[in-house]
Amino acid sequence: RTVTPAWILAQFKHSSFRHQEPTLDQCWTGLAHPSQKRKAAPDTRNKGGGWIQKSRNLHEFAPVTVVKASSVDNPMILRIHQAKKKRIQSQQSSSSGGDSVGVVKNPPLCNRGRNEGISNMLKQLSNLHLECPLGTMDHWRAYHYGLMAGRVKQLDFEIVDERVLPRLQHIQGFGDSIRNKIKEYLQTGTCQKIKELERDPYRKAVQSMIKIWSIGPIKGKELVELGYRTIRDVRKGLSRGELDGLSANAKIGIDCYEDFEERMSRSEVSQIGDIVIRTCRQVLPGAEATIMGSYRRGLPNCGDIDVLILHPDFVETTPKGALGRLIRMLHQSGHMLHDLTSVDGMTAGGNGTELQSESDDSVFHSRSSEIEGQGETSMGLQKYGHYHGSSSYMGVFASPTDAGKRRRIDIKIYPYQERAFASMYFTGNGDFNRSMRLWSSKARGMTLNDHGLFPNGTDFANGKESVDKLKGASLPAATEEDIFELLGLEYRAPSERDSFDAIVEKSTSQPVAIVELDKGEIHHEMKHIWID
């Protein structure tokens, strides 16, 4: 049933399910429970001049989050469990946990914002390594810095001075290097490593090359070796004909360099979405098209537009040529400027890809052998063939709101039966997807992708050949909730899918404690919570 705030308060009062002391079978994570992220710490801190200073024992800095350490095969829980054991051994203490007042399932929205400074520092380090992976290992450095940038924000305490460093030691992912950088940050307010990386002219040059869409670390380095340091250099080189070897996509990337750096407002995204969706319905009546990505996650601005297309009549297949037809129509109306991938029959983002010809179908007929009966009328129901699989398109869209600005757009179409998996994937974010897939594989022995969820051992590994088997072998899910359920994870609304740590095992009847929230807060946070 749906739980009202009043009901929850009543439960708290009557303590019908009370917070229990964590036993060894349980653990806390060192991470704040999502529900306490915003509220708890500021409160506690403000009382009596900072509890971090007051309390030395570890039970006090992570007072609540009681998560059952159930499945032992869950690596994340396992690690955390491990960490706790370690801690328990080294440090014994008596009481704690007085603040928890009740339990809910399916905890509410994550609120971030703690340890901003440190998080930003780690994020910077991540980016500096990510954008310029000079050594082969840098990629994973960046990965880990990124994860930790997310994790510090979820800590249930503020890192205000060095005394918390030993506590950090017990939290998964904070090793010597990162703790030292945090220490440095606490002492000096900066990080020499960042300065150093930012100073390095080579790295800086490669960074600016890498920001060109379709230029990665390898080509970026090549360009720098050739003497190009800035986007201006590259443009100059291009105009001199020195860089003819670059791909068509790279040329688009160079042309749109500044535009692609920019983020757009939600309103612009929704307007672009409207255009695409309306056109889509013309081309494919009955289609369900939705804006996904960061827009769906509710971010205030977005780096690109992601549109997912489904059609209930195409359950195991996709309408052959529909995506191409949509793209072509968008080209004709002047909205779509460039293709970065080819679609169905259309040519790739190559040279003459623009408006090809007048005859609506010439492109399709000439390119795609597969078209069966193309119903002709531009707005009637088309008869589409069945393409077995999904397809995805990347392109460049003309901003309807900001004249001259060009926006990255991705459009994907999937068989209807894959809709839950496709929308999960396409909603992201990236870290969340990786976390979820890691969980699937390590904790559940299954492989999760945008087509389905497959018990390992299923014969899906050999690429395109087995797409069919792959589909057939997937556990069925009609909704995203189903997927969380299948994986034994707490449901997360799109807006909550914002980090690697946003994944929590579904407590099997094991309550999750929350800290005191005032009524307004509870009302605000919980009025939509579903409790089974």
- Catalytic annotation, residues: 181
* Whole-number Å distance between alpha carbons of 76 and 443: 9
Q: Is 174 in the site for DNA (CB under 7 A)?
A: yes
DSSP per-residue string spanning 414-482: --GGGHHHHHHHHH--HHHHHHHHHHHHHHHSEEE-SS-EEETTSS-TTGGGGHHHHHHHSBP-SSHHH
- Please tell me whether residue 248 binds DNA under the rule CB under 7 A: yes
Enumerate residues 102-141 that contact DNA by CB under 7 A.
137, 140-141
Separation of alpha carbons 65 and 316, rounded Å:
43
Distance CA 119, CA 299 (A): 18
Measured from the Cβ of residue 41, the count of other Cβ atoms closer than 10 Å reads: 21
Q: How far apart are CA 387 and CA 319, in angstroms?
A: 6
Per CB under 7 A, the list member of 105, 134, 143, 263 interacting with DNA is: 143
Task: Specify the DSSP class assigned to residue 32.
Answer: P
Q: In a 3-state reduction of DSSP, which class is residue 404? A: coil
Only segment of 1-9, 88-96, 99-107, 426-434 that touches DNA (CB under 7 A): 426-434
Tell me which of 60, 410, 480, 490 binds DNA, using CB under 7 A: 410
Q: Does 17 bind DNA (CB under 7 A)?
A: no
Residue 173 Cβ vs DNA, minimum distance, rounded to whole Å: 5
Judged by CB under 7 A, the residue of 5, 30, 217, 511 near DNA is: 217
The total number of residues written for the chain in this structure: 532
Of 22 and 217, nearer to DNA (C-beta) is: 217
Among 23, 57, 92, 177, the residue binding DNA under the rule CB under 7 A is: 177
If one asks whether residue 447 binds DNA (CB under 7 A), the answer comes out as yes
User: Distance between CA 18 and CA 362 in Å, rounded?
Assistant: 70
Q: Binder to DNA among 109, 394, 420, 489 (CB under 7 A)?
A: 394
When the beta carbons of 76 and 529 are compared against DNA, the nearer one is 76
Q: Which stretch binds DNA (CB under 7 A): 1-9, 53-61, 73-81, 330-338?
A: 73-81
Choices 25-33, 100-108, 363-371, 443-451; region in contact with DNA by CB under 7 A = 443-451
Q: Transcribe 325-355 into DSSP letters.
A: HHHHHHHHTT-EEEESS--TTS--S-GGGSS
Judged by CB under 7 A, which stretch of 30-38, 43-51, 168-176, 519-527 contacts DNA? 168-176
Cα distance between residue 452 and residue 474, in whole Å: 5
Q: Is 71 in the site for DNA (CB under 7 A)?
A: no
User: What is the nearest approach in angstroms of DNA to the Cβ of residue 221?
Assistant: 8
* Pairing verdict, β 305-310 and 406-413: parallel
Which of 3, 55, 71, 75 binds DNA (CB under 7 A)? It is 75
| Distances, alpha carbon 255 to alpha carbons 212, 336, 355, in Å | 9, 15, 19
- Quote the least distance from Cβ 418 to DNA, whole Å: 11
Examine residue 400 and tell whether it contacts DNA (CB under 7 A): no
| Interaxial angle between packed helices 430-444 and 75-90, expressed in degrees from 0 to 180 and rounded to the nearest 10 | 80
Number of chain positions touching DNA (CB under 7 A): 63
Segments in 55-172 forming alpha helices (H): 58-61, 75-90, 116-130, 138-152, 165-169
| Residue of 79, 195, 236, 519 interacting with DNA (CB under 7 A) | 79
Residue 88: exposure state from Cβ atoms within 10 A (0-12, 13-18, ≥19): middle
- Shortest Cβ 143–DNA spacing (Å): 6
Measured between alpha carbons, how far is 225 from 214 in angstroms, rounded to an integer?
18
Q: Which of 179, 266, 365, 386 binds DNA (CB under 7 A)?
A: 179
Nearest distance in Å: CB 445, DNA: 10
Under rule CB under 7 A, residue 186 binds DNA: no
For residue 107, the SS3 value is coil
Considering the rule CB under 7 A, would residue 175 count as an interface residue with DNA?
A: yes
DSSP-based three-state secondary structure for 88: helix
Q: What residues from 270 to 309 belong to the interface with DNA (CB under 7 A)?
A: 293, 304, 306
Q: What whole-number distance in Å separates Cα of residue 322 and Cα of residue 314?
A: 12
In the bound state with DNA, the residue whose beta carbon lies nearer, of 12 and 439, is: 439
Token representation of residue 251: 């040329």
Q: Is 89 among the residues that bind DNA (CB under 7 A)? A: no
CB-CB contact of 480 with 420 (8 Å): yes
Which is closer to DNA, CB of 179 or CB of 523?
A: 179
User: Closer to DNA at the Cβ: 9 or 78?
Assistant: 78
Binding to DNA, residues 344-383 (CB under 7 A): 348-350
Give me the 452-471 binding string for DNA, x by CB under 7 A, dash otherwise.
--------xx-xx-------
Q: Which of 342, 423, 499, 507 binds DNA (CB under 7 A)?
A: 342
Select the span of 57-65, 216-224, 272-280, 362-370 touching DNA (CB under 7 A).
216-224
Cα(405)–Cα(213) distance, integer angstroms? 16
User: Does 166 engage in binding with DNA (CB under 7 A)?
Assistant: no
Under the rule (CB under 7 A), what is the footprint of DNA? 75, 78-79, 82, 137, 140-141, 143-145, 148, 172-179, 210, 212-220, 247-249, 253, 293, 304, 306, 341-342, 348-350, 390-392, 394, 408, 410, 430, 433-434, 437-438, 440-441, 447-451, 460-461, 463-464
